[in-house]
Structure 1
């Protein structure tokens, strides 16, 4: 009986140790996917395809430009906000681009005396350009806000807006652009508040 157990164990180990299936080794798979292998060999990394220069983010699918910025104050908010007008161009031939989704390529930050803060793009701006009786201005802001969620057709351009809540009105806001494939920083753009 013991002889059969040893024979089964040897067959099992031989079967586990052989690699005759023609599959790629882990090192070959890592090289194809741009990863680092367990042995510590560095495999070729992908280069970013996105650029961010002078306030313009350029990808294979779209161009996003920071066209205008202004400090605003909504009666609904305690701090001021940064109102940004973006120009978006869909460079594709057959894909829609959602303006809100393109903002995921940008991160807005601001410093104060002690810290660096990531700014949120949820500032209430609908009433920042006129009082509650100014229905025309309010409706214009609602239309601008809605435009950021509408699908932009191939080959078309649009302006849309976003408002970021500021920590203060003293320190500059820095937008950092990111490449979506490599998740690396590809540039910065500074908005001077003073």
Structure 2
């Protein structure tokens, strides 16, 4: 019907507007990080309650993300001194990617554990692999993995670039592994930072 066709066009337009806003925001954030004008607000974070809240918020905001999110947090994790806003941006972007590039209904694991004076966060999704030859480029601005968007979700090509910049700004590291039909991003943040 004409009404359903109009609704479909409106949805496409709405998605494009969201994508453009996201592109502009990410680009501005990258510029601020490049010029070191993005202030960090360091707080002592209790990882279990903070991560649970972030994942619950993500699920509430992305109710159309038809995936099975599994949260696995090691017991008795030490507190992390970090900028919670920046860390939330990182995790939300990784969760967005995992939802975009894995089949509907598939599992996404979110893990947190202590590892060698670091807190390690992992976001792992299933059903799609990133070719090893692309690993060194996936954090570049505007880079998008060729032929790796089977559900035509699209993206700005800036999300992972922003993630990498934020993690460096926080004094941490990120790396990716992709094999056996799964992809896992691992973020490590040091426990030894001093609170201002």
TM-score in terms of structure 1 length = 0.26
Larger Rg: 1
TM-score in terms of structure 2 length = 0.26
Larger proportion of helix: 2
Larger proportion of strand: 1
